[in-house]
Structure 1
Amino acid sequence: MSLEFSGKVAVITGGGGVLCSTMATALAQKGAKIAVLDLKLENAEKVANDINGKGGNAIGVACNVLDIDSLKVAHATVSEKLGPCDILINGAGGNHPKGTTSKNHLFEEDLTGNEELKTFFDLDPEGIKFVFDLNFIGSLLPTQVFAKDMIGREGCTVINISSMNAFRPLTKIPAYSGAKAAISNFTQWLAVHFAKVGIRVNALAPGFFLTEQNRTLLTTADGSLTDRGNTIIAHTPMGRFGEAEDLTGTLLWLCGDGSKFITGVVIPIDGGFSAFSGV
């Protein structure tokens, strides 16, 4: 096991998910002690147990990233069992159906009172608020709680999770696109704010990765692509969806000394999606 991050403590919110659990495992393989934070304790402990079974050092902690008291309890647990936080990955996030339209475009005939059709005018403010809170506030609050550990210590970093939606808003999901744009902006703001105390802040902007949240949007029951899935692949020059392991090389670089003069950047990991004009 590499000791590149030996002695460092990495805290990963949303750590029970496919992408963040892979990040947790990658950091553990490089010697970091891992705190897997997730809303569901069983999900966090499953990832932690898997890491420990491979010779790593990890704990699973239940945590609600929208509840400051829950975060403080999680922080106390991490501090007691592993030590102060060196690396914070704000991985918790997601979308909500109430912040999503049914169709890509609005047509006049859509305004006929069809209850099954959700247009822009039918979007639920509470659903949109939930998406903004989960993605933006759910990154701001953990940073307030855990980044205090980093002040005055070398090699500390915060990694936020942005998205392709932050570069170009995707159809149907205005709330999620806006929330991820806020994450990119917040990453730059926080990088400047923390620069004098030695904390670097950067973000990953994943392209299209198949997860449980989007699988039914991109693939059918038999595994073939939906129309939306086909459109995405057609606009991804490398011609495939991302795999969780595609994130880890950039993650490890941003967390390590090789990027010690880099802060405030948002790096696309997208198979060329953000570079392609469509023609």
Structure 2
Amino acid sequence: MYPRLEGKSAIVTGAGRGIGESIALRLAQEGAEVLVVGRSMAPLAETVESIAEAGGKAWAVAADISSESDVEIVVREAKGRWETIDILVNNAAVFEEPPFLEISPETFRKTFDINVTGTFLLSQAVAKEMISAGQGSIVHISSIDALGADGPVSAYTATKAAVVSLARTMTMELAPLGIRVNCVAPGFVNTDMTQKTSTPVVMDHMLNDFQRVPLRRLVEPEEIATAVAFLASDEASAITGTNLVVDGGLTSNLYVMETLPEEWVPLA
């Protein structure tokens, strides 16, 4: 691996575990100095330690991105260490909610506050800093849930669609200022959360014979991180406004033919 991000600075939210942790590690491996952000310091400290053990540079700030004052703290910390902020990865999100008929307005608002408003607040604050350098790369972590429902998670699904839409609008306004904005949409990923919410039989199926997915397996967090590192780098200099799907081919199949009551007879 060559250091595509040598000398770059990066902020990664939700970096204490799972996909966010993998993204922070990958950006550091490629030469970036990384500020990891999350609501709890303990897992962030572990991410920083992992990066340091691998020879990278990182430090942590505990913050709630849905809070304007906390966002100000994050940006102030970054500006105190770096002359410019080159990369922002908006990964922080919440996922816990009951079915549509049971979800409370408070839970719905909280999901939007973190997943959408938090992404907006930090993106706006960082973009204002990127303008002075005339360049920057912002990557939102969206989801295949922005493309279709996969369970009783109406608030989460709505927030991810909003994040994709936000990225498109940001693209139109920020591209003339030298700032690129993209999304990475993970499919089903092999994270701690997936393992905690799945039985051993289900995990074995998803890891080794996930028939609904063309690649027949879960996506690994490191594979999401690879996509993010590419979009953050100058190798993606002409790419902005896209939602890069990393799902093992899951959304390429509408899953209609497989569910018919009998085999389809093609026209001849």
TM norm structure 1: 0.86
Structure 1 unaligned blocks of 5 or more: 102-119
Question: Counterpart amino acid of 1:77?
Answer: E
Residue type of the alignment partner of 1:140: F
Aligned with residue 246 of structure 1, among 215, 223, 239: 223
Partner residue, 1:136: 116
Alpha-carbon distance in structure 2 between the residues aligned to 1:162 and 1:31: 25
- In structure 2, the partner of 1:126 is 106
Output the aligned Cα RMSD. 2.1
1:205 positional shift: 0.1
Matches within 5 A, 1:15-94: 15-94=15-94
Contact kept? 2:135, 2:177, Cα under 8 Å: no
Q: CA deviation at 1:74?
A: 1.8
C-alpha separation between the residues in 2 aligned to 1:152 and 1:133? 28
Equivalent residue, structure 2, for 1:275: 252
Aligned residue runs from structure 1 range 120-269, under 5 A: 120-217=100-197, 219-220=198-199, 223-225=200-202, 233-269=210-246
User: Displacement of 1:273 after TM fit?
Assistant: 0.6
Distance 2:110 2:95 in 1: 8
Q: Give the distance between the partners of 1:267 and 1:148, measured in 2 at CA.
A: 25
1:136–1:182 contact (8 Å) kept in structure 2: yes
Letter in 2 for 1:32: A
The alpha carbon displacement at 1:154 in A equals 4.8
The answer on whether the counterparts of 1:155 and 1:256 sit within 8 Å (CA) in structure 2 is no
In the TM superposition, structure 1's runs of 4+ consecutive aligned residues that sit over 4 Å from their partners are none
Distance in 1, Cα, partners of 2:181 & 2:8: 17
C-alpha distance after superposition, 1:128-183 (max 9, x if no partner): 11111111112111112222121142541000011010011222111111111111
Q: C-alpha displacement at 1:229, in angstroms?
A: 6.0
**1:34 alignment partner, SS class:** strand
% identical equivalent positions = 28
- When residues 257 and 154 of structure 1 are mapped into structure 2, their CA distance, relative to the original with a 3 A threshold, is farther
Cα offsets for 1:61-101 (capped at 9, x unmatched): 1111011111111221222124421100001002123xx22
**In structure 2, what residue type is equivalent to 1:193?**
E
Superposition pairs for residues 87-126 of structure 1, below 5 Å?
Answer: 87-97=87-97, 100-101=98-99, 120-126=100-106
1:45/1:61 contact within 8 Å kept: no
Q: Give, as a single letter, the amino acid of the residue that structure 2 aligns with 1:61.
A: V
Aligned partners of 2:41 and 2:61 also within 8 Å? yes
Q: CA deviation at 1:196?
A: 1.1
Letter in 1 for 2:77: T
Distance 1:52 1:272 in 2: 34
Q: Which amino acid aligns with 2:165?
A: N
| 3-state SS, counterpart of residue 69 of structure 1 | helix
- Classify the secondary structure of the residue corresponding to 2:61: strand
The 8 Å contact of residues 168 and 241 in structure 2, kept in 1 or not, is answered as yes
Contact (CA 8 Å) 1:2, 1:29: kept in 2 or not? no
Aligned residues: 255
The 3 A distance-change label for structure 1 pair 134 and 214 is farther
Asked if the contact 1:152/1:198 (under 8 Å) is kept, the reply is no
8 Å contact from structure 2 (residues 134, 177) kept in 1: no
Q: Secondary structure at the match of 1:251?
A: helix
